[in-house]
Structure 1
Amino acid sequence: MSAPSHPTRAPGIWDVIVVGAGPAGATAARVAAENGCTTLLLERATIPRYKTCGGGLIGASLAALPPGLSLKVYDTARRFTFAHNGHKERTLDSSSPTCAMVYRSELDAALTEAAAAAGAEVRDGTALTTLEQRGDTVSVRTNRGDTLRARAVVGADGSASRVSRYVGVQCAQVDLALEVEVPVDERTADRWRGRALMEWGPLPGSFGWVFPKGDVCTAGVVAARGNPVALRAYKEDFLTRHGLIGPRPLHDTGHLTRCRRPDSPVARGRVLVAGDAAALVDHWSREGISYALRSGDLAGRAASRVVGADEPGARAAADDYGRRINDVLGAEMRASSSLMALFARNPALVHTALTRVPPAWHRLDAYIAGRTSVAGIMTTPLARTAAAVAGRLPASRRGSGRPGRVS
């Protein structure tokens, strides 16, 4: 790979500083380093670190991983069970099993090692506290009392990102996810092996999931932020029904997922954001790893162009990054927002379509395998018809179609 021409780095000035060593940040750091940039990757936690995440890698995520990445896959979902509020359960076979079950701690550590191998310097246990742009450099202050300077900064520091607030990212949807990682006995492990569960829940736009990982199951629920008591009650009911409430969990955590507004900025001057920090998450499934990996790649390339540019050139590179995000990932998010609106209005209709209308399942299966996108799903005649039918249903027909277990 040919490296772009960059100004000689003054003492104490990095070409690129990346904040956050998740999939977006580690990818941005690797790509910037591969493009000839002196790159510093900061992570506030000690690597490897736990991250609340289902850990299912769909086809788009697998395709975005660097070649030859050493990563242990604990299971691959060959069957998907769908249920509607604990009922109408049906299991469907995947035509090309793809969804790989991993631990985020191991994924992030592997991606960080790849960034280091490409030449990026990694400093964990180091958190950003403030940043400021002056002229052609950005100053970053850390919890260690250091002041670091760079020609470009990529913020990939999660959904509670400081860099996101600096850039001014705006959200259209904020959800709360509650998750556990539960050790399971051999009989339970056999029951879940090769099979993932998605259950449409009793709260608007909610669902629960179970992802198998050998002798551990990752399970959780998600719904719109604002009713944590009801969500916790749904979580307890969900885990109890699936026999995952008894063992002491390895982890029992929660976090917010955020979906950006279509007009939200992803850059401010020489500062870019990617992944969760840019609120790049699927509205319906709340899947974010594929968005993180792809936006991290785009951010690393854009940052390398910012480094070697004067101020007009840096603005042009940042603007081009925003256009690429909107054209590719933004299009997928707009489609997933439409799907989420349909699902929130009538989850029973979505469930019936997925489990009883073969073309609907085939499309979702193709999406999981990476052969199509949510935008590809929502442009089909079936999806357009379902959206039109849901929009004509009277209010009494909308929603779960059955009293929920959670009041």
Structure 2
Amino acid sequence: MPPPSTPSRAPGTWDVIVVGAGPAGATAARVAAENGCATLLLERATIPRYKTCGGGLIGASLAALPPGLPLKVYDTAGHFTFAHNGHKERTLACSTPTCALVYRSELDAALTEAAAAAGAQVRDGTALTTLEHQDDTVTVRTNRGDTLRARAVVGADGSAGRVARYVGVRCAQVDLALEVEVPVDERTAGRWRGRVLMEWGPLPGSFGWVFPKGEVCTAGVVAARGNPVALRAYKEDFLRRHGLLGPRPLHDTGHLTRCRRRDSPLARGRVLVAGDAAALVDHWSREGISYALRSGDIAGHAAARLVTAADETTARAVAGQYERHIDSVLGAEMNASRSLMNLFTRNPGLAHAALTRVPPAWHQLDAYIAGRTSVARIMATPVGRATAMLAARLPGR
């Protein structure tokens, strides 16, 4: 039964509809259901489904997972190897091995099951086709011919999804990532076990990564969209140098990552966006899972408040509070990561030298990976501010 403060619903009307069952959407659906809302979670694919993603869960992601979530961790990174254009390789030990390496298909499925256990109804294989406001509800239509209504909608259907376009999300940075999942033999698996590789690449703002997952390594490269031929060449060279080019990949995919502009909207009426749909991604590392989990939690609580909004003035106030909450927490993180990205793009050699040769720099990154600090706090330290000022004065690359 809905809480006493929740208005009665007309037949066919939900309290909350969430679009997209990734980390942001499944979390928003679970939180809304836990707050007594009649919640429907729509997912266009059939769960579990493959998702291009490195699958690294840093401390902030692990802290945002629901307690007791059944999730298989295939490896935990205790060492990080850094390189610059394939040279100057250096391996550093984590003070507290934290970064858990998982498959996104399994993470998303576990989070969706948690939403269902909280009371949300899940409909996979169901894609959103249109949505529009009608008085104090939002009408949602699907590819199955359903016409559904809700007092609040949370869009978590990706950066190119319909809800993001409806809200009018704008991006400051768009990157192309190319990724493979490669089966490896025992010798190769042993060489990578417990160790993640991050290599700063030859293209502006680019890097390559290797994430070990037992009998499989997830590897890829990322750079600003606009030069796919050069990025594919870098990917080929990167995989060859690390012994991952020969095996036939289980998956060989690409996707765009989008980072939000500071003034981009996060809501329109009773429709909120979270996670990738809101373009909430770290500018430098392109890490998005922690942003998705945290924004999904905030969106789920905001959606529950929208359900009880007696009029549209109150609804606008709730949506405004949601935007300010995201800006104050995740927006601050993105602003700091944008500054770090500018430093890295301008002079990756300096960034690499500082990280691998100046112990306090690695200690700060290690603390970030473990969830003991944030990019915003790192960039606010005297060392962070001084490094950013120095990089701004140096010639690029």
CA distance in 2, matches of 1:26, 1:393: 44
CA distance in 1, matches of 2:362, 2:220: 23
Q: How does 1:106-185 map to 2 (within 5 A)?
A: 106-185=106-185
CA distance in 1, matches of 2:388, 2:65: 34
CA 1:61–1:3: 2 relative to 1, 3 Å: farther
Shift in Å, 1:393: 1.5
Report if aligned partners of 1:82, 1:91 keep a CA contact under 8 Å in 2.
Answer: yes
For 1:14, the equivalent position in structure 2 comes to 14
Report if aligned partners of 1:4, 1:36 keep a CA contact under 8 Å in 2.
Answer: no
For 1:199, the equivalent position in structure 2 comes to 199
CA distance in 2, matches of 1:187, 1:166: 50
AA aligned opposite 2:340: L
For 2:299, the equivalent position in structure 1 comes to 299
For 1:229, the equivalent position in structure 2 comes to 229
AA aligned opposite 1:148: L
For 1:402, the equivalent position in structure 2 comes to none
AA aligned opposite 2:111: L
CA distance in 2, matches of 1:5, 1:359: 51
For 1:259, the equivalent position in structure 2 comes to 259
Residue by residue over 1:335-361, the C-alpha shift from the partner in whole angstroms, topping out at 9 and shown as x without a partner, is 000000000000000000000000000
CA distance in 1, matches of 2:156, 2:295: 10
1:313 aligns with 2:314: yes
For 2:381, the equivalent position in structure 1 comes to 380
Instruction: Quote the sequence identity (%).
Output: 85
AA aligned opposite 2:306: V
Shift in Å, 1:111: 0.1
Shift in Å, 1:382: 1.5
For 1:63, the equivalent position in structure 2 comes to 63
For 1:355, the equivalent position in structure 2 comes to 356
AA aligned opposite 1:116: A
Shift in Å, 1:146: 1.0
Report if aligned partners of 1:18, 1:41 keep a CA contact under 8 Å in 2.
Answer: yes
CA distance in 1, matches of 2:4, 2:117: 19
Report if aligned partners of 1:3, 1:34 keep a CA contact under 8 Å in 2.
Answer: no
Q: How does 1:267-346 map to 2 (within 5 A)?
A: 267-309=267-309, 310-346=311-347
Shift in Å, 1:387: 1.4
Residue by residue over 1:264-314, the C-alpha shift from the partner in whole angstroms, topping out at 9 and shown as x without a partner, is 110000000000000000000000000000000000000000011121111
Residue by residue over 1:154-211, the C-alpha shift from the partner in whole angstroms, topping out at 9 and shown as x without a partner, is 0000121110000001100000000000000000000000000000000000000000
CA distance in 1, matches of 2:70, 2:279: 28
| SS of the residue 1:153 aligns to | strand
What is the alpha-carbon root mean square deviation over aligned residues? 0.9
CA distance in 2, matches of 1:92, 1:393: 27
CA distance in 2, matches of 1:219, 1:147: 41
1:49 aligns with 2:52: no
Give the TM-score normalised by the residue count of structure 2. 0.99
| SS of the residue 1:282 aligns to | coil
CA distance in 2, matches of 1:305, 1:314: 8
AA aligned opposite 1:179: E
Unaligned residue ranges in structure 1 (runs of 5+): 400-407
CA distance in 2, matches of 1:312, 1:363: 44
Shift in Å, 1:3: 4.8
CA distance in 2, matches of 1:16, 1:348: 48
User: Does 363-372 or 377-386 show the bigger shift?
Assistant: 377-386
AA aligned opposite 1:47: I
AA aligned opposite 2:335: R
Shift in Å, 1:245: 0.5
Q: How does 1:238-253 map to 2 (within 5 A)?
A: 238-253=238-253
AA aligned opposite 2:225: R
CA distance in 2, matches of 1:372, 1:113: 30
Shift in Å, 1:149: 0.7
Aligned length: 395
CA 1:4–1:253: 2 relative to 1, 3 Å: farther
CA 1:4–1:320: 2 relative to 1, 3 Å: farther
Shift in Å, 1:4: 6.6
